C-alpha cells in the first residue's frame, strides 16, 4: 500500500470545457493528447476530464465534425480547467450548374464526338465510322450485324443524316453472319456528331438516336491522303481554287489474305471484295455555298454457309 501514493502522483488530470463561439456546449467532441492513447469525449455540458501519465509539454487536440480542429501545446500541469471555443469550418463552394445534354441544329460544338482521325485510329474500326461509333457508351453489338444499334433499339431506329439530308441506305450489302460496313469515307466529313439521348424535333422520325455527318464546307489546303490496311487501302486527293474545291476518295478492301491466314466456318468460293469512290465539289456563291456529292460502291463475294435444313449448305 505504500506504493499507491507514488502511482497517484505519477498521473495528471486534463480537464476543461468545449463550446461553440457563442458559448453553446458541444457534445461528443474528441479530446486527446497527440501521440498517446489518453483522451475522452465531451459530455452534454461540453466538459471533459481524463487522466494521463504523460509529462512535460504535450499537444492537446480537440476535434468535432464541421468545426476547425483545435490544438494547444503546453505542459500537462497547465491543461486543467480549460475553456476551448471551436470555430465553424466554413468552406466556400463555387456555383454548380447542372444542364442536360442537348443537340441543336447546326451546332456541332456541343455534340461533336469523333473527328476523321479518331475514326481511323480506333481499334477494330478498320476505317469505318460505324465501327468506331460502336465503341461509344450507349451502343450495342448485335451478333455480327455491323450496323448501329443504340440502347436496345433496332438499327432502323438510328437515323443517319448527311448535311441535313436523311440517308436511307448507309450500309454496304452483305449476307447472313457477315458484318456490314458504312458506305462513306470519314475524311469527307468535318465532324461526326452522335446523340444517344435527346435530340432536336427536326429529327423526329428517329427513335433511338441521331447520327449527323456534315461534309467539309471549305478544305484548308490541297492535300493527298493515303491509308493502308492489311486487307486494303484508300487514296484521297483535294484540289482547291479561288472559289471552288474538289475532293475525291477511293477505297478498296479484299479479305482474301485474311481468310487464307484465319479460315472461318464459311466455305468461301470468292472472298469478300469491296470498292467505293466518292467526290465532293464545292463552289462559293454570293449568299451561300453549293455542294455536289456523288458516290459509287460495289461488293463482290460468294460463299456457302452451313444450314441445318440444307446438308450441302446455303449458297
Helices and strands per DSSP (H, E), number in the chain: 4, 20
> Is residue 100, in this structure, part of any structural domain at all?
no
Q: Do residues 257 and 150 both lie within one domain? A: yes
Collapsed DSSP state (helix, strand, coil) of residue 155: helix
- Interior angle at CA 235, CA 231 and CA 239, nearest 5: 170
Q: Do residues 156 and 268 both lie within one domain? A: yes
Q: Do residues 298 and 183 both lie within one domain? A: yes
Higher pLDDT, 20 or 90: 20
pLDDT digits (tens, 9 = 90+) for 187-231: 777 777 776 665 555 565 556 677 777 777 777 788 888 878 788
pLDDT at 104: 45
> Is residue 33, in this structure, part of any structural domain at all?
yes
Of 203, 199, 102, 196, which Cα lies nearest the Cα of 148? Answer: 196
Of 32, 6, 3, 8, which Cα lies nearest the Cα of 18? Answer: 32
Q: Do residues 216 and 262 both lie within one domain? A: yes
Dist. CA 139–CA 148, nearest whole Å: 7
Q: What domain range includes position 165? A: 112-314
- Interior angle at CA 135, CA 132 and CA 137, nearest 5: 130
Q: Do residues 169 and 23 both lie within one domain? A: no
User: How many folded domains does the chain comprise?
Assistant: 2
> Is residue 93, in this structure, part of any structural domain at all?
no
pLDDT digits (tens, 9 = 90+) for 48-74: 999 999 999 999 999 998 889 999 999
> Is residue 107, in this structure, part of any structural domain at all?
no
Q: Do residues 200 and 121 both lie within one domain? A: yes
Contact of 147 with 134, CB cutoff 8 Å: no
Q: Do residues 169 and 56 both lie within one domain? A: no
> Is residue 101, in this structure, part of any structural domain at all?
no
> Is residue 70, in this structure, part of any structural domain at all?
yes
Least confident of 98-107, 110-119, 214-223: 98-107
Q: Do residues 22 and 164 both lie within one domain? A: no
pLDDT at 102 over 60: no
Distance separating the N- and C-terminal Cα atoms of the chain = 106
Q: Do residues 214 and 284 both lie within one domain? A: yes
Alpha-carbon separation of residue 75 from 78, 155, 156 (angstroms): 6, 78, 80
DSSP string, 68-134: PPEEEEEEGGG-SSEEEEEPB---PPPP---------TT-TTTTEEE-HHHHHTSTTTTT-HHHHHT
Q: Do residues 81 and 116 both lie within one domain? A: no
- H or E stretch at 164: none
CATH number at residue 25: 2.60.40.1120
> Is residue 275, in this structure, part of any structural domain at all?
yes
Dist. CA 212–CA 142, nearest whole Å: 22
Q: Which three cell numbers stand for residue 50?
A: 481524463
Q: Do residues 18 and 120 both lie within one domain? A: no
Dist. CA 315–CA 302, nearest whole Å: 8
Kindly provide the b/e burial profile for residues 299-308, where b requires at least 16 CB atoms within 10 angstroms of the residue's own CB.
bebebeeeee
Higher pLDDT, 27 or 121: 27
pLDDT digits (tens, 9 = 90+) for 245-275: 888 888 888 888 888 888 877 778 888 788 8
pLDDT at 266: 75
pTM (predicted TM-score): 0.48
Which residue, 86, 101, 124, sits at the end of a domain? Answer: 86
> Is residue 125, in this structure, part of any structural domain at all?
yes
Q: Do residues 183 and 276 both lie within one domain? A: yes
Dist. CA 46–CA 25, nearest whole Å: 5
Which residue, 38, 68, 86, sits at the end of a domain? Answer: 86
Amino acid at each position: 500500500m505504500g506504493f499507491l501514493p507514488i502511482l497517484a502522483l505519477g498521473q495528471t488530470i486534463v480537464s476543461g470545457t468545449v463550446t461553440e463561439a457563442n458559448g453553446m456546449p458541444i457534445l461528443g467532441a474528441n479530446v486527446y493528447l497527440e501521440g498517446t492513447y489518453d483522451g475522452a469525449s465531451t459530455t452534454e455540458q461540453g466538459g471533459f476530464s481524463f487522466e494521463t501519465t504523460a509529462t512535460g509539454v504535450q499537444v492537446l487536440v480537440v476535434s468535432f465534425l464541421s468545426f476547425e480542429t483545435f490544438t494547444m501545446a503546453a505542459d500537462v500541469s497547465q491543461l486543467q480547467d480549460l475553456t476551448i471555443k471551436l470555430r465553424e469550418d466554413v468552406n466556400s463552394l463555387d456555383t454548380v450548374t447542372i444542364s442536360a445534354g442537348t443537340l441543336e441544329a447546326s451546332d456541332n460544338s456541343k455534340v461533336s464526338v469523333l473527328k476523321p482521325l479518331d475514326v481511323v485510329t480506333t481499334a477494330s474500326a478498320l476505317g469505318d465510322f460505324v465501327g468506331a461509333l460502336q465503341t461509344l457508351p450507349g451502343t450495342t453489338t448485335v451478333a455480327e450485324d455491323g450496323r448501329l444499334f443504340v440502347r436496345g433499339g433496332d438499327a432502323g431506329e438510328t437515323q443517319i443524316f448527311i448535311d441535313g439530308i436523311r440517308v436511307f441506305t448507309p450500309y454496304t450489302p452483305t449476307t447472313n453472319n457477315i458484318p456490314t460496313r458504312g458506305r462513306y469515307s470519314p475524311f469527307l466529313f468535318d465532324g461526326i456528331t452522335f446523340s444517344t439521348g435527346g435530340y432536336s424535333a427536326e429529327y423526329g422520325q428517329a427513335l433511338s438516336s441521331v447520327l449527323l455527318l456534315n461534309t467539309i464546307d471549305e478544305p484548308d489546303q490541297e492535300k493527298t491522303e493515303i491509308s493502308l490496311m492489311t486487307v486494303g487501302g484508300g487514296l484521297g486527293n483535294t484540289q482547291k481554287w479561288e472559289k471552288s474545291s474538289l475532293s475525291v476518295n477511293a477505297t478498296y478492301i479484299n479479305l482474301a489474305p485474311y481468310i487464307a491466314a484465319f479460315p472461318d466456318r464459311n466455305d468461301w468460293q470468292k472472298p469478300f471484295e469491296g470498292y467505293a469512290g466518292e467526290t465532293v465539289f464545292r463552289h462559293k456563291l454570293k449568299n451561300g455555298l453549293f455542294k455536289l456529292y456523288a458516290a459509287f460502291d460495289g461488293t463482290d463475294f460468294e460463299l456457302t454457309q452451313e444450314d441445318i435444313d440444307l446438308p450441302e449448305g446455303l449458297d
